[in-house]
Amino acid sequence: DVVLTQTPVSSLVTLGQPASISCRSSQSLVHSDGNTYLSWLQQRPGQPPRLLIYEISRRFSGVPDRFSGSGAGTDFTLIISRVEPEDVGTYYCMQGTQLCSFGQGTKLEIK
């Protein structure tokens, strides 16, 4: 089974400052088709999860460009370039290369 480990577990960020979340996989997420199925999801309080980024760095429809993803193989990063109030919530990485699994989540709060 693929285990995803996110760091930090929680993050306190000043409005307008950047935030970074790391996701490390227990094995390579490169699929046999050559793609890497690593996504990032946002879950605001009381809401269902929402897809932000897929295939490492592709922004989903309607996602602001302050969200970006990077990485390869087993190490991935979500960056929010300038945190805004509506970014409060929990962020999950998710892999779809070998069935499906989620990181444990990173809670983002505003200072």
- 92 forms beta bridges with 41
CB of 19 to other proteins, least distance (A): 19
What the block records as the tokens of 81 is 């370039």
CB of 5 to other proteins, least distance (A): 12
Q: Supply φ then ψ for residue 86, to 5 degrees.
A: -75, -5
- Could you list the residues that contact other proteins (CB under 8 A)? 1, 31, 35, 37, 39, 41, 43, 48-51, 54-55, 60, 90, 92, 94, 96-97, 99-105
**Rounded Cα gap, residues 47 and 87, in angstroms:** 13
Nearer to other proteins, 16 or 86 (CB): 86
